[in-house]
Structures are given as C-alpha cells and as structure tokens.
C-alpha cells in the first residue's frame, strides 16, 4: 500500500482522531472566554485531518475529504465573517449588534471575577466560528493537496 503507516499507528489514529476533532471545536466555540479562538481551533481540526492523511495515505481518505467541499466551506467562512461585519453598519463597521440583545450569545456580561458565561460576546463568538470554519477548510486543502502531490511523485518513481 502506498503512503500508509503501520498497524500500531493506524489503531492509535482511530482512537485519538475523534478526541482531537472535539477539542478543536471546543477551542473554536469557547474562543471569546478562554485562550484560543477561531484560528487556533481551526489549526487543531486541520491537524486532525493531517493525522488521517499521514496515517492512511491519500487513496483511502480522499472519499471522506473532498477538495471541492473544503473550498466551498472556506469561502462560506469568509463570506460569513464579512457579513457579520457589514450587519453592524447601522452604527459602525464591525459594530457588535448581537451583544446585550438577549438572544443567542446576547446575554449581558457579568462584571467582576467569574468563571465566564458561554452565552455572551455577541458577534465575537459568531465571527470566531466563521474564522474557525475558514481556517480548518483552508489548512485542510493545503494538507490534502500536498499529500496528493507527494504520493503522485512516489507512484511515478515506483514505475
């Protein structure tokens, strides 16, 4: 098999892959109240994709990770980000119009030392999710393309 790794590495990958994904999405969702954010969480999710590609090789993974789908997700993230920025244009560009509105991510922030409420932050949380979607898709496309290129060269040399 071209590009795969040993049985030990494959077993560990199947065990660990889900946990890395959940941790990455946790970092994205808690970006406005704890260290990390869209970029860091997206990089963690993309490193899970890289782990899959390193372990199993491109031939088995390409049916799960489609380059076209990742490109569409990347564009969607960027469009969502700039849409949230323009929606605040009633006051200013990037105005936080969701904060203190009472809806999703809209409850008022408590003053003083507290453990942090996830349901605050307004557009900061929504923009973190948009950036996270963009970064995980973009880094996923980069890793996928490099893996395909490397294995194409490997196949050519074997012939």
DSSP state of 98: S
Is the Cα dihedral 120, 123, 126, 127 positive or negative? negative
Binding window for another protein (CB under 8 A); candidates: 41-49, 64-72, 84-92, 120-128: 41-49
Among residues 21, 33, 54, 85, the one that binds another protein under rule CB under 8 A: 54
Binding window for another protein (CB under 8 A); candidates: 62-70, 100-108, 113-121, 149-157: 149-157
Q: In which region does residue 58 sit, left (phi positive, over 0), alpha (psi from -120 to 50) or beta (all else)?
A: alpha
38 binds another protein (CB under 8 A): no
- When the beta carbons of 106 and 147 are compared against another protein, the nearer one is 147
- When the beta carbons of 21 and 87 are compared against another protein, the nearer one is 21
CB 131 within 8 A of CB 73: no
């Amino acid at each position: 098999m071209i590009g795969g790794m040993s049985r030990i590495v494959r077993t560990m990958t199947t065990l660990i892959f889900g946990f890395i994904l959940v941790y990455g999405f946790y970092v994205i969702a808690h970006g406005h109240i704890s260290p990390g954010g869209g970029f860091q969480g997206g990089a963690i999710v993309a490193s899970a994709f890289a782990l899959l590609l390193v372990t199993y090789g491109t031939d088995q993974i390409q049916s799960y990770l489609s380059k076209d789908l990742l490109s569409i997700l990347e564009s969607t993230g960027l469009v969502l980000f700039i849409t949230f920025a323009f929606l605040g244009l009633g006051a200013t560009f990037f105005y936080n119009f969701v904060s203190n509105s009472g809806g999703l991510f809209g409850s008022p922030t408590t003053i003083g030392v507290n453990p942090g409420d996830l349901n605050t932050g307004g557009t900061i949380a929504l923009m973190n999710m948009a950036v996270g979607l963009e970064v995980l898709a973009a880094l996923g496309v980069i890793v996928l393309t490099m893996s395909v290129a490397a294995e194409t060269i490997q196949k050519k040399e074997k012939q």
